[in-house]
Amino acid sequence: MSTTENVRIAPPEGKLGILTPGMGAVATTFLAGVEAVRRGLGLPIGSLTQLATIRLGKRTDNRSPMIKDFVPLASLDDLVFAGWDIYEDDAYQTAVKAGVLDRPLLDQLKDHLSAIRPMKAVFDHDYVRLIDGPNVKQGASKMEKTEMLMDDIAAFRKNTGVARTIMLWCGSTEVFHRPAAVHQSLAEFEKGLAANDPEISPSQMYAYAALKSGVPFANGAPNLTTEVPALLELARDRQLPIAGKDFKTGQTFMKTLLAPGLKARMLGVRGWYSTNILGNRDGEVLEDPGSFKSKEETKLSVLGTIFQPELYPMLYKDLYHLVRINYYPPRGDAKEGWDNIDIFGWLGYPMQIKIDFLCRDSILAAPVALDIVLFLDLAQRAGMRGIQEWMSFYFKAPLTAPGLYPEHDIFIQLMKLKNTLRWMRGEDLITHLGLEYYD
């Protein structure tokens, strides 16, 4: 550690294991993509850890190293993947069915992908209602099944020899639940696992198994998982970082780009109507109103905190915000997200903005997943525990300390992320004040 660094960061020695509960479209696009990049078959577009630079010092200093050269990140060559799913298909078969990456590319990676077979999942039909699969653990209690997950983690470590492991939930969106009595302390949670408390979800069983095994956990979906006192307590006790939730990729990414700009210019917004069509398995699961409600909550949450209607009632008080998702199989993973935004300007005169984002869900999510696991591993090696708010940049509903509102503005999130990296390495934080250039 140099004299200026604020944290001691252990070097990323050895292999980094990445465990994904859920090995569907996002997880397979992520792991196939990493292998394609390793073999020189494609570029990691969309990933800050692989492509972005970070400015250090003054604008006149000309110091802008790559982020990956500035902070010690695990190399793509050191990543080892495994995961769980309720289906038995290996990663090659799943990727072919998901239809995100082209068949010729997948065929070049077939040897690697077909060796990745999902472990038996912990699944509960009450939490994901519209799909079912055979690759599921049987056990007398939730505690017993959670212990099986811990055994899986231990076996993975032993068989691969990984030095560190990260878990990233890439499973389906579970139905909406609020924190219950069983979530209020670790002791209650453990009693609840033994007593099969219906308020404990599978994603929480994976998170508990991860944290108990010393594995940092991040949530790529909107369901309630680690943001309850019991699991926050466990993460802190075990000195483990956690992050979430719900990858910010398509429509919400657009929203958090545009809304800060409208507010910056003090333009009013009367209505924001967002609708989506998508035809992948994620879309199928979101047909269930319980799962949709989880998604709706995270998608709706962003505008309130960006526009701050309590500070600007004349601009945003009565904003009507509606989000719809429709399952439309012909589109597969190629989602279409429409936004109609009714804004108003000088003297209240109305205007409209239309966005039609023809995106590819998993192509946007894969680099986000990569950055999340690499930064979470960095946080772990830097001894940073609990919620990693500086990773808000990647999430639709960033986790924050209780009582703190989340920051949704993507540009503030990016500044927070880069300043955290600067802080780690003892570099000056960049405030963009810039007065020194005019002294």
Ligand X SMILES: NC(=O)c1ccc[n+]([C@@H]2O[C@H](COP(=O)([O-])OP(=O)(O)OC[C@H]3O[C@@H](n4cnc5c(N)ncnc54)[C@H](O)[C@@H]3O)[C@@H](O)[C@H]2O)c1
Distance CA 51, CA 38 (A): 14
Distance CA 373, CA 328 (A): 31
Binding span for ligand X by CB under 6 A among 123-131, 310-318, 347-355, 383-391? 123-131
Query: Is residue 170 within the footprint of ligand X (CB under 6 A)?
Result: yes
Query: Is residue 95 within the footprint of ligand X (CB under 6 A)?
Result: no
Query: What is the closest distance, in whole angstroms, from the C-beta atom of residue 55 to ligand X in the complex?
Result: 29
240-269 positions binding ligand X, by CB under 6 A: 246-247, 249-250
Query: What is the closest distance, in whole angstroms, from the C-beta atom of residue 366 to ligand X in the complex?
Result: 9
The residue sitting closest to ligand X, measured at its beta carbon, is 24
Binding span for ligand X by CB under 6 A among 142-150, 155-163, 176-184, 278-286? 278-286
Identify which of residues 189 and 247 has a Cβ nearer to ligand X in the complex: 247
Query: What is the closest distance, in whole angstroms, from the C-beta atom of residue 135 to ligand X in the complex?
Result: 8
Identify which of residues 22 and 268 has a Cβ nearer to ligand X in the complex: 22
Residues 6+ apart with CB under 8 A from 135: 85, 86, 87, 88, 118, 120, 121
Which one among 31, 86, 106, 315 touches ligand X, defined by CB under 6 A?
Answer: 86
Radius of gyration, alpha carbons of the chain: 22
Query: Is residue 47 within the footprint of ligand X (CB under 6 A)?
Result: no
139-168 positions binding ligand X, by CB under 6 A: none
Which one among 123, 272, 393, 394 touches ligand X, defined by CB under 6 A?
Answer: 123
Distance CA 253, CA 246 (A): 11
Query: Is residue 90 within the footprint of ligand X (CB under 6 A)?
Result: no
Which one among 87, 208, 217, 390 touches ligand X, defined by CB under 6 A?
Answer: 87
Distance CA 283, CA 325 (A): 8
Given a contact cutoff of 8 angstroms between Cβ atoms, the answer to whether 391 and 419 are in contact is: no
Which one among 146, 251, 362, 388 touches ligand X, defined by CB under 6 A?
Answer: 362
Identify which of residues 72 and 222 has a Cβ nearer to ligand X in the complex: 222
Query: Is residue 172 within the footprint of ligand X (CB under 6 A)?
Result: yes
Nearest to 211 by CA among 219, 223, 222: 219
How many other C-beta atoms lie within 10 A of the C-beta of residue 316?
A: 21
Query: Is residue 394 within the footprint of ligand X (CB under 6 A)?
Result: no
Query: Is residue 365 within the footprint of ligand X (CB under 6 A)?
Result: yes
297-326 positions binding ligand X, by CB under 6 A: none
Q: What residues pair up with 19 in beta bridges, in sequence order?
A: 82, 167
Site string for ligand X, 177-216 (x = CB under 6 A): -------------------------x--------------
Query: Residue 94: which H helix or E strand, with range?
Result: helix 91-98
Phi-psi label, residue 214: left if phi above 0, alpha if psi -120 to 50, beta otherwise: left
Which one among 84, 189, 217, 316 touches ligand X, defined by CB under 6 A?
Answer: 84
Given a contact cutoff of 8 angstroms between Cβ atoms, the answer to whether 165 and 218 are in contact is: no
Site string for ligand X, 2-41 (x = CB under 6 A): -------------------xxxxxxx--------------
Identify which of residues 289 and 345 has a Cβ nearer to ligand X in the complex: 289
Distance CA 187, CA 371 (A): 33
Residues 6+ apart with CB under 8 A from 85: 22, 23, 24, 94, 118, 121, 133, 135
Given a contact cutoff of 8 angstroms between Cβ atoms, the answer to whether 90 and 115 are in contact is: yes
Nearest to 389 by CA among 419, 366, 369, 367: 419
Name the token pair of 243.
């992050």
Amino acid of residue 24: G
Classify strands 350-358 and 336-344 as parallel, antiparallel or unpaired.
Answer: antiparallel
Query: Is residue 366 within the footprint of ligand X (CB under 6 A)?
Result: no
Query: What is the closest distance, in whole angstroms, from the C-beta atom of residue 68 to ligand X in the complex?
Result: 23
Given a contact cutoff of 8 angstroms between Cβ atoms, the answer to whether 192 and 142 are in contact is: yes
Query: Is residue 372 within the footprint of ligand X (CB under 6 A)?
Result: no
Query: Is residue 398 within the footprint of ligand X (CB under 6 A)?
Result: no
Nearest to 244 by CA among 166, 154, 189: 166
Query: Is residue 399 within the footprint of ligand X (CB under 6 A)?
Result: no
Binding span for ligand X by CB under 6 A among 73-81, 236-244, 357-365, 416-424? 357-365
Distance CA 244, CA 125 (A): 23
Identify which of residues 36 and 136 has a Cβ nearer to ligand X in the complex: 136
Query: Contact residues for ligand X (CB under 6 A)?
Result: 21-27, 84-87, 98, 121-123, 128, 131, 133, 170-173, 202, 220-221, 246-247, 249-250, 280-282, 285, 361-362, 364-365
